[in-house]
Structure 1
Amino acid sequence: MEQPTIDAGRLRLRPFTADDIDWVHQVALDPLMRTFIDLPSPYRREHAEHFVERLVREGWATRRRVEYLAEDAATGERLGRAGLSLKTGGAAEVGYWVDPAARGRGVATTAVTALCGWAFATLGLGIVHWRAEVGNDASRRVAEKAGFRVEATLRQRVVHRGQRVDAWLGSMLPEELCPVADE
């Protein structure tokens, strides 16, 4: 089965292509993104190439990972990324980021809501988990707007750049999904 495109109103979620590698590289250099996402340092173009050519494509082929590029449906402008790491038993963990130039426009919320809705309906997931390092307030706002319930603060649960840090953990069941936010 070929990875489908997902219509999300003003956004379109589409599979990554080799043409997206340079954009992924540029976004990954953003200092704010690097604050909460444990990326190689320094982040080189070959890291972006590995993400697009290996992780994304192999993830879909093996049904372990589903990654989408969120773009403006009218212009094709690349805006962000939303993905699911698929687990056993009908579960997944969501992850997302947004190009610095597109922040504050509801891109992540719309993309996450559309992706989770598609995954519940098409993949038959029973639950999607979310986690973020404590202090990543933007990620938490996105998760809550999409319908995730923050369930706990887990002490020292995540290792970030060699340091143990606290993490928020949340989840969403199919019936908790909020309607696609077309802000």
Structure 2
Amino acid sequence: MPETSLRPVAVVPLIEGETVRLRPLREDDVPALVENCRDEQARRFVPVPLDYTEDDALTFLRRTVPDGWREGSGHVFAVADPADDVLLGTVGLHAFRATTADVGVNIGPAARGRGVGTAACRLLIDYAVEGLGLRTLYWQAFVGNVASLALARRLGFTLHAELPGFAALRGEPVDVWLLGLSARTGGPEPREKL
């Protein structure tokens, strides 16, 4: 028996919204996942292999995502169109700490500019706060990713800092904008002017 078949399976909730659905990733999502991760914006700002393949997608789908749910280290959802259930992107929570986690999102090029990222992240935030009891969410965007910064701000995240060399992308240090959103007040956390 393969090692993964001995591990308990985590139940990924289905979260229905008016314009998007958050659901478990499936094997029929692989072609769209590959296309989304090969997109120039994803290759520039998401830590995925430059030559993202079907094998990369299957490893993500069969190992990385289920292990994250099982171990409590990541809750990744497929973002799908509720009309036809086609994959539009992914959204998730990562880097869980006592009452916080980081938000991550990768919306495919065909779905950008239609409010898909905003709708998916709102559902994810509700799940994080109401379902998991998290009190603060963080958003990291590589400096230069103005679309990610704009999305975070639309969602109510407040810019806290620009951190030089805080992250790595394919082995190279990358500067990061760090934003936060507090559930305690129902809005962004206060911050000092940068």
The normalised TM-score by structure 1 is 0.91
Map Cα deviations across residues 109-154 of structure 1 (whole Å, 9 max, x no partner).
1111110111110111111111011110010111111111111111
Conserved 8 A contact 1:66-1:86: no
Q: Does 1:154 align with 2:163?
A: yes
What residue is the counterpart of 1:7 in the other structure?
A: 16
Conserved 8 A contact 1:63-1:86: no
In structure 1, distance between residues paired with 2:41 and 2:12 = 30
Conserved 8 A contact 2:33-2:89: no
What residue is the counterpart of 1:113 in the other structure?
A: 122
User: Taking CA–CA contacts closer than 8 Å with sequence separation of 6 or more, which of the two structures ends up with the larger relative contact order?
Assistant: 1
Identity of aligned residues (%): 34
Give the secondary structure class of the aligned counterpart of 1:13: strand
Instruction: List aligned pairs for 1:133-144, cutoff 5 A.
Output: 133-144=142-153
Q: Which of 73, 78, 96 does residue 87 from structure 2 map onto?
A: 78
What residue is the counterpart of 1:30 in the other structure?
A: 39
Conserved 8 A contact 2:34-2:54: yes
Conserved 8 A contact 1:153-1:168: yes
In structure 2, distance between residues paired with 1:3 and 1:164 = 33
- What amino acid is aligned across from residue 142 of structure 2 in structure 1? E
What residue is the counterpart of 2:105 in the other structure?
A: 96
In structure 1, distance between residues paired with 2:17 and 2:156 = 16
Task: Say which is worse superposed, 70-79 or 143-152, in terms of deviation.
Answer: 70-79
Give the secondary structure class of the aligned counterpart of 1:176: coil
Give the secondary structure class of the aligned counterpart of 2:25: coil
After TM superposition, give the deviation of residue 23 of structure 1 in Å. 1.7
The normalised TM-score by structure 2 is 0.86
- What amino acid is aligned across from residue 176 of structure 1 in structure 2? G
Q: Does 1:40 align with 2:68?
A: no
> Bigger radius of gyration, 1 or 2?
2
Q: Which runs of 5+ in 2 are unaligned?
A: 1-9, 189-194
In structure 2, distance between residues paired with 1:77 and 1:21 = 11
Conserved 8 A contact 2:37-2:52: yes
In structure 2, distance between residues paired with 1:118 and 1:4 = 10
In structure 2, distance between residues paired with 1:149 and 1:142 = 11
Conserved 8 A contact 2:139-2:152: yes
After TM superposition, give the deviation of residue 92 of structure 1 in Å. 0.6
In structure 1, distance between residues paired with 2:21 and 2:80 = 5
Q: State the aligned residue count.
A: 177
After TM superposition, give the deviation of residue 63 of structure 1 in Å. 1.6
Give the secondary structure class of the aligned counterpart of 2:174: strand
Give the secondary structure class of the aligned counterpart of 2:140: strand
